Copies of this chain bind each other. A is one copy, B any other.
């Protein structure tokens, strides 16, 4: 008799976005004329850069002719994409990453989820709280999380590191030894960043404890402050302890096109084995490469024209983040993130719960946000707003919130 993976049965429902949808629908039902503005959405809205779509058209044409047809590609990605990644994302920042340390994929969510394949189920996992749920859920599926408690909203075997205004959104080193540490900077959901000094503390910890840092840099292109690392490999010692996830989703609007990459340094050795070799084996066995058409599109963002075009779109989103931050601050809120990130993390007024504040903004300003509690217990008392909307709508939403005089 076939047995299922019982770990799946321990997973709580994915409650956050369905509950937001439910509350929003209920409000619309009773207020059909309300003009709602969504500032909760984590998806991009601006079109792909012309250089990208042009490259995709050319790639589709390649596949339309026998003489330029591409079949199975290298599972690790084409060098026409890995070469500029190595050059522009790393060498240009003084970081030496080889092409064969770069694994192109269909996106960072897949890689963040699949990376656990190459690691033992016995490792102790540490995550920040609040957290992007994929880190936790994929470890729970693999059997690394123990049991879930509805009361604490926590898993018994996961080490949670609160990141709040009180600790400047930098997780403290854990008292208990941990083996796998997820860090995300610029952070989803808080929009805050870790500086070189803060990252160095973690790199040193990981090297001393032979732990592994899973560094999610999906929002790296939003960093504008000069002293904030874009890659964990800017920190000395990171190549012997860190794996880095990158995405073209927010960088260049690829949420629907699908492309990302993961860096696994050859110097990252655990138990005498290079994790680069293990990940290469995983990808060649369980993956067949990202789409040729999409890889060609991704490569176009490294051309001068493509670079200029994606920067225009990033500037658009940054401006939205600026509008939200300034407006909320004028209205007297404590606001975090937003500077190096498309995410704005706002303290609720008084001691208001984040779902209550969500309701207030929905019902009194007709603005949809994301309650911080949905990302973990330490997200209680905050809401997340995002900069991916239309600028005019964003301005209008912020004016409505200011007018509430909360």
Contact = CB atoms under 8 A, between A and B. Distances in A.
Nearest to A255: B71
B118 A8 contact: yes
A288 interface: yes
Which of A53, A256, A288 has the most chain B CB atoms closer than 10 A to its own CB? A256
Contact of A64 (B53, B64, B258): B53
Contacts of A270: 1-4
A238 interface: no
A275 B141 contact: no
Which range contains the number of A residues in contact with the other chain?
A: 35 or more
Contacts of A122: 3
A266 to B, nearest CB: 15
Given A2-B210, A290-B258, A69 B47 contact: yes
Interface stretch (A150-158, A291-299, A328-336): A291-299
Contacts of A47: 63-66, 69
Contact of A60 (B44, B53, B255, B282): B53
Interface in A24-78: 43-48, 50, 53, 56-57, 60-61, 63-66, 69-73
B5 A120 contact: yes
A114 B5 CA distance: 13
A96 to B, nearest CB: 24
A229 B206 CA distance: 54
28 contacts: A1-B211, A3-B122, A3-B123, A5-B119, A5-B278, A6-B271, A8-B278, A8-B282, A14-B284, A43-B72, A45-B66, A45-B71, A56-B60, A56-B293, A57-B60, A63-B257, A69-B253, A106-B106, A106-B258, A114-B286, A117-B141, A137-B285, A138-B286, A141-B285, A257-B292, A258-B289, A291-B291, A293-B294
Given A44-B71, A47-B64, 16 more contacts: A2-B212, A2-B270, A3-B270, A4-B120, A4-B271, A6-B120, A8-B281, A9-B273, A47-B63, A47-B69, A106-B287, A106-B288, A141-B286, A256-B292, A257-B292, A291-B291
Interface of A: 1-6, 8-9, 11, 14, 43-48, 50, 53, 56-57, 60-61, 63-66, 69-73, 106-107, 109-110, 113-114, 117-120, 122-123, 134, 137-138, 141, 179-180, 209-212, 253, 255-258, 270-271, 273, 275, 278, 281-282, 284-294
